[in-house]
Amino acid sequence: MSFAEYSEIIQEGDVVIIFLGHESMMPIKVQSGAQTQTRYGAIRHSSDLIGQRFGSKVTCSKGGWVYVLHPTPELWTVNLPHRTQILYTTDIANITLMLELKPGSVVCESGTGSGSLSHSIIRTIAPTGHLHTVEFHAQRAEKAMQEFKEHKVSHLVTVRNQDVCKDGFGITGIADAVFLDIPSPWEAITHAKSAMKRKGGRLCSFSPCIEQVQRTCEALLDHGFEEICTLEVLLRVHDVRAINLPLPDFGPEEGSADSSQMASDVSQEVAPNTGNTSVICRTATPPREMAGHTGYLTFATKPQCE
Amino acid sequence: MAESVNDSDAESRISFGDYVVLKRGDVFKSVQVENKKKVIFEKQWFFLDNAVGQLFGTRFEIEAGGSLKLKAAKHSGDSLDSKEAGQDNRHILDDGKSQKLTRDDIETLKEQGLKGQEIVQQLIDNSTTFKDKTEFAQEKYIKKKKKKYESDITILKPSTRLLAMMYHGREPGKICHLRYDTLAQILTLGNIHAGSKILVFETCAGLVLGSVMERMGGFGSVIQMYPGGGPTRAGMESFGFPSHFHETLHEFPLCKVNALLAGTLDLSEKDADGNGRSESSQETSGVSEERSSEPQSMEVSVDPQEEMRRVERERLREQKAQEKKVKMEEKRKKLASAAALLEGRNADGLVIASRFHPCPVLMGLLKFIAPSRPFVVYCQYREPLIECYTKLREQGGAISLRLTDSWLRHYQVLPNRTHPVLLMSGGGGYLLSGTTVAADAAKTRNQHKSEEPVAKRLKLDEISSA
């Protein structure tokens, strides 16, 4: 197992994701002899996990069962221990595409935060790329490093514990892309520019507030960045379900079909069980509440140097 | 760390045969650089020859005669602004007479070979209302005129970003209206990365295939499942991948999936196919086929010259048959290698984005995917995906099913004029994504863990505010 490479069989030391049911998961580290409690009972790592295939069903001690999944950056994003606010998959997907990340890309990121985006970047740029991530909070930097090791991707990433606005990314002239998720990104634009390759590259800054965006765009323009573009993406998750629509009763109609006849004109299925006629239809409804704002994504291109 | 990457190497310079993306403003066009080839882009024509040897990302002006000229470094002549500006528009009347230059005058200026920037300056100088306009209105005016008369083009290296934006802007019908942010979701939700084995079924001109290949970077394998006579790859070609990427690309016809699943796929069918040729292979190969039937038509008169020509034709036909045989053999080999990859039923991911009903495609292809792997299905419409969702729930073998769409909004960010862009895209299509799991006896399904959300550890809504 690695976050950048699939494997078939669960081994000691792997991180696996236990799928407990609808939107309910937990990550665990596999260690022989260890046990993990779930609400369906205990999972014994030696017998239930090690040597099993990823994706198989595991029966817990109380007779309930769960699925064990191979970790991916996307599963990690919804399961990781939060040390900060994190970026979610929808934004990450757009950042990855708009920064043109691919195997071999050299990427700078700051701050590392909880490592949600970092895992995704590492997955995309492996096996030949490298991530240089900067986190000014010593404990977070330490924790991230430890996670990368556990997830078997530490060879693809360098974590630096420094202030990106003051000290930059610790590299010059080698980055294809830079990502900023810090409170004052405009203070890091100079460093971003010098970290990037001579032939140019892409930059992205994530900010929750429009004032931050404003200042960042001004700084980008001042530093000669081009193709400056700010956008926002939201995800709507649709709830698929069967709904029941009762049919109104207009009373008997002179010499014509009754209302249940009409029901079958309206739609495909008629609920047979109830006395009242109603129609069942499958539909997808948006959730009652959804994330309405995560942050603005500002992208720009650093042109080649003359 | 030894991290000095020499980035001014050959790959960042434009050469003949390269696929490039032309950019003017927000408009893109993908072309291949060829010697003395006339390119038409945004109502202008030109030749790309002078771009050869320049770095990707270089900006050019079009000169008379269609040749490209390096654009001088900018920032030097960008001072079009006049210093005067009005406060508001209370005295500005729309009498249609504010511009003193006539259309003919402007045409003449253009014919004189005046530069775009100079024309814009002329327009400003001859506008009676310009100096009364507010500073913002002046800027807007200049921007609008620049867009029309300054026709720089930039030549860029193709990427998923550029090609997805290009297709969405120019030919959305060809890619089933797949918007670029939705494509971004596909690639991420599908966990597309180097070293995996990915199944792709698409009718998006090869754009989705190309984007998957870009993310795999030439490591691993991609199996393109195709409908009809052959795979569509124009979009993929536009990426201009190095040749070793193509070695990782395999293809398999959808019409042989059932045979493969049933174990009745006949891979020794080279002759069976070859004998019944013309007709049967017309469907399968399509392209190289057209002309082989024509010589039979006129063979009535027999004079010596005609005879000679006949022999010649015979020889050609034989040669063609030989070539065809080689081609068939190649095709058979390719089919066999794709079949071998599929047979393990251990692919690492599945991406579907087509104009076909997604339900049968998904049900058929999911069988080739290993457990604990993601799959993503794109559809322009929501209803077919509801059907897929329902079917998967019944059948099992997949968890974490999510039906989603995304919403994309662009912003204009300018001092004191920041707001969402007026026009936004109405819809970028829908996605159904999920993860495969080991199929089971179907009985235990839907027992204790049905669809009700569990309160515990529900950390979805942590986005609240910062």
Q: What is the ipTM of this complex?
A: 0.94
Q: How far is A231 from chain B (nearest CA, A)?
A: 4
Q: pLDDT at position B249, please?
A: 96
Contact criterion met (CB < 8 Å) for B57 and A304: yes
Hey, are the CB atoms on A94 and B181 less than 8 Å from each other?
yes
Note whether A140 contacts B: Cβ–Cβ < 8 A.
no
Structure tokens at A8: 């078939």
Say what the pLDDT of residue B1 is: 40
Residue B256's pLDDT band, with cuts at 50, 70 and 90, is very high
A167 touches chain B (CB under 8 A): no
Determine whether A256 is exposed, middle or buried from the number of CB atoms within 10 Å of its CB (0-12, 13-18, 19+): exposed
Asked whether residue A220 carries a pLDDT value surpassing 50, the answer given is yes
User: Edge-to-edge strand order for the sheet containing A57-59?
Assistant: A24-29, A15-21, A65-69, A57-59
Whether residue B281 is predicted with pLDDT greater than 90 in this model: the reply is no
pLDDT at B426: 78
More confident residue, A257 or B287: A257
CB contact under 8 A, B411 and A56: no
Peptide bond into A111 cis (omega under 30): yes
pLDDT of residue B76: 41
Using alpha carbons only, what angle is made at residue A263 by residues A258 and A266, rounded to the nearest 5 degrees? 135
Distance CA B161, CA A44 (A): 46
Extended strands (E) in B174-276: 197-202, 221-226, 249-253
The H or E element spanning position B120 is helix B116-125
3 state SS of A296:
strand
More confident residue, A247 or B289: A247
Residue numbers of A between 168 and 207 with CB closer than 8 Å to B: 171, 173-174, 197-200
Between A135 and A268, the more confident residue is A135
| Contact in structure between B229 and B283 (CB atoms under 8 Å) | yes
Looking at residue B273, its pLDDT comes to 43
Beta bridge partners of B404: A237, B431
pLDDT of residue A23: 82
Asked if residue B277 has pLDDT above 70, the reply is: no
Q: What is the mean pLDDT of residues B111-138?
A: 79
For residue range A246-302, list pLDDT tens digits in order.
999 888 877 655 545 555 555 555 555 555 688 999 999 988 888 889 999 999 999
Coil, strand, or helix at residue B301? coil
| Choice among A108-117, B256-265, B281-290 with the minimum mean pLDDT | B281-290
Contact status, residue A16 vs residue A1, Cβ threshold 8 Å: yes
More confidently predicted of A214 and B310: A214
* % of chain A exceeding 70 in pLDDT: 92
CA distances from A170 to A57, A109, A167, A174 (A): 46, 11, 7, 11
**Which of A 14-73 lie inside 8 A of B, CB atoms?**
19-26, 39-40, 53-57, 64-65, 67-70, 72-73
pLDDT of B464: 39
Could you tell me the pLDDT band of residue B42, with boundaries at 50, 70 and 90? Answer: confident
Element (H, E) at A302: strand A296-302
How close A123 comes to chain B (CA, Å)? 6
Rounded to the nearest 5 degrees, what angle is found at the Cα of B387, between the Cα atoms of B366 and B199?
25
Predicted confidence band of residue B124 (pLDDT cuts 50, 70, 90): confident
The reply to whether residue B370 touches residue A55, judged by beta carbons under 8 angstroms, is yes
Residue bearing the bigger pLDDT, A194 or B446: A194
Q: Which residues of A are annotated as a binding site for S-adenosyl-L-methionine?
A: 114-117, 135, 181
| Whole-number pLDDT of residue B30 | 96
| More confident of the two residues B286 and B440 | B440
Residue range A111-140: mean pLDDT, rounded = 97
- List residues bridging with A207 in a β-sheet: A296
pLDDT at B436 over 50: yes
How confident is the model at residue A287, as a pLDDT? 85
What is the per-residue pLDDT for A256?
58
Tokens standing for B112? Answer: 């004189």
Structure confidence at residue B465 (pLDDT): 38
More confident residue, B302 or B235: B235
Q: What is the mean pLDDT of residues B392-417?
A: 94
**How high is the pLDDT of residue B295?**
46
pLDDT at B110 over 50: yes
Average pLDDT, chain A: 92
- CA-based nearest residue in chain B for residue A21: B449
Which pLDDT tens digit goes with each residue over A225-249? 999 999 999 999 999 999 999 999 8
For B381, nearest residue in chain A (alpha carbons): A284
* pLDDT score of B82: 54
Q: Which residue has the higher pLDDT, A139 or B288?
A: A139
For CA atoms B219, B220, B226, B229, give the dihedral sign: positive
Which of the residue ranges A26-30, B41-45, B459-463 has the most confident prediction, judged by mean pLDDT?
A26-30
Would the pLDDT of A60 be above 70?
A: yes
| Reported pTM | 0.86
In percent, how much of chain A has pLDDT > 90?
83
From first CA to last CA, the distance across chain A in angstroms is 45
Split at pLDDT 50, 70, 90, the class of B148 is confident
CA distances from B353 to B194, B246, B358 (A): 21, 21, 8
Banded model confidence at residue B445, pLDDT cuts 50, 70, 90? very low
Cβ of B390 within 8 Å of Cβ of A240? The answer is yes
Q: Which residues of A26-51 are buried (b: 16+ CB within 10 A; e: fewer)?
A: ebbebeeeeebebebeebbbeebbbe
Are the CB atoms for B217 and B207 separated by under 8 Å? no
- Calculate mean pLDDT across residues B145-155: 81
Interface contacts A/B by beta carbons within 8 Å? 233
Contact B368, B361 (CB under 8 A): no
Strands (E), B242-356: 249-253, 349-353
Q: Which two tokens stand for residue B366?
A: 């999911």
pLDDT higher than threshold 50 for residue B460: no
| pLDDT at residue number A91 | 98
Alpha carbon distance B154, B49 (integer Å): 14
Instruction: Report the alpha-carbon distance of residue A6 to residue A14 in Å, rounded.
Output: 12
Which value, to the nearest 10 degrees, does the dihedral of the CA atoms of residues A187, A193, A195, A196 take?
A: 150
Is A291 an interface residue toward B (CB < 8 Å)? yes
Please give the mean pLDDT across all residues of chain B: 83
pLDDT of B118 > 90? The answer is no
- Residue A173 to residue A194: CA distance in whole angstroms: 6
